[in-house]
Amino acid sequence: MFHKMKGVGVCPARPTYLQILTGLLGGVAGIGAIAYLTQIAGVPLLMAPFGATCVLLFAAPAAPLAQPRNVIGGHLISALVGMVILHLFGTGLWQMAVGVGVAIALMQLLRAVHPPAGANPLVVLTAGVEDWSFLITPVLVGSVILVLIALFINNVGTEKRWPHYWI
């Protein structure tokens, strides 16, 4: 009934139950830790792109896009782009489009591509975030927390080694 089309591959292998458990625990631990720290510190540390960051960190940790440089650098670069555009040009549809495009280009130029971070200019511009401290909290602090949790979770077991590079 189903035929393999020439030039079209098949689905990747199903992850092992350990890989699925790692993704589950990583997502719960990562977002749970950030949410808890947000509550006790009274400082907003949570933003939606961090959920997608968890997918990369805990379901695809070997990917270049899931390395610390990409996670932290990508989030900082993209949020900074959003902040600069907001302060120079305000908010609007073209500002959002340009913000995402410039963020992608800068992440590529600086070798810190992290797809979830591509949403950061949208977060900044739709929320109208004007306070530059947003770059520290939630962007830097939140991404560092996720990387630290990934450092622990992705190194449980003898055959695991994460990250593949830092810088």
pLDDT (tens digit per residue) in 2-38: 555 566 778 889 999 999 999 999 999 999 999 999 9
Domain range annotation of the chain? 17-153
Whether the CB-CB separation of 106 and 146 falls below 8 Å is answered with: no
pLDDT (tens digit per residue) in 128-166: 999 999 999 999 999 999 999 999 999 988 777 899 998
Query: The whole model's pTM is what?
Result: 0.92
Peptide bond just before 138 cis, omega within 30 deg: yes
Element (DSSP H or E) covering residue 57? helix 49-59
Whether the CB-CB separation of 52 and 116 falls below 8 Å is answered with: yes
* Rounded distance between C-alpha atoms, residue 81 and residue 83, angstroms: 5
Q: How far is CA 11 from CA 14, 21, 105, 155, in A?
A: 8, 20, 30, 27
